Amino acid sequence: MPENNRTKLLIARRVPQAVAARAIDEFQAYVTESDMDSWSVVDFCKTHNVQAVLVGKKSGLQKEHIAALPPTVKIIANASAGVDHMDVAYARKQGIAVTNAPDALTECTADFTMLLILAAGRRAAEYGKIMRSGWGKSFGMTEMLGKRANGKTLGIVGFGRIGRAVARRAQGFGMRVIYTDIVRAAPSLENGATFYPSVREMLPHSEVLTLHVPGGGEPLMTKEEFDSLPKGAVFVNAARGALVDEDALYNALTSGHLFSAGLDVYRNEPNVDPRFASLENVFLTPHMASATVETRDQMGFTALDNVAAVLNGKSALNPA
């Protein structure tokens, strides 16, 4: 691409074609064909005097990477909601804006959470296996029974955008919703959900439990937390794998304390603990909660909107 006076934007991760086309139309965009690693991003920015970077998990920028960036870089745009792959505080100290896309994923992730709740409760992994092996045997009235969502109490850890969107969907299935968060939500946002001041207080009442908080730090769900759930509970995680002690989860599933689990995220992605793949009462997906055409496009567009705002001297639309 010939040099010109347009903003130099490095897209360091693979993005949908619609996002790449818009970037090329609006910026002097360098679009990678494969996800770049962090140091490759730094080297590219130095060589090309880049002003903005759109990054992903592989190209996440921690303190040492940010310190090595050239002074031309004014914004690091993230096309997803989570920013655990970046040192946001250090970037701000260096005068670099960091943005994310919190709204773009909300509805899609909430849809997917309901998929996990239904699939785990209704034994979808087992039913799929039976059908792919040819079925061939009728099941009686007492065999292969799952658990319905209707009438169950859903515990939600984290009542932000996604947590509230899940609550609305669950209420549509006739579930009672309870939740916990750092502070209680306004009554208008609760929409009838019941607040508990701590995870520990809520867990014994959660027949189904779903997590919607950021990762990082010590696991939120350890043996003690799983033991606090009622026997036969369903556990769902479409947030972050780091929230869960996977040994404790495995033991809860194999001991019969948990009825089942629906998992989209794992501690060591993309190398999932093989023990979970061996369990019939676990429904597994490969971190796909935001994987729809509409949402992935919107994620990229939101990142580009933030780049345009910051480099036009305006405030970031979605500061991380």
Structure tokens at 250: 């495995």
Catalytic residue chosen out of the listed positions 92, 205, 275, 287:
287
Q: How far apart are CA 104 and CA 242, in angstroms?
A: 22
Tokens of 295: 């949402």
Q: Looking at 122, 123, 240, 296, which residue is catalytic?
A: 240
Give me the catalytic one of 64, 201, 269, 280.
269
Q: Decide if 212 is catalytic.
A: no
User: Is-catalytic flag, 269?
Assistant: yes
Distances (CA, A) of 248 to 29, 117, 267, 272: 46, 20, 13, 15
- DSSP for 97-154 reads EEE--TTTTHHHHHHHHHHHHHHHHTTHHHHHHHHHTT--S---TTSS----STTPEE
Distance, CA of 128 to CA of 131 (rounded, Å): 5
Q: Is-catalytic flag, 287? A: yes
What the block records as the tokens of 192 is 């009838």
Active site residues: 240, 269, 287
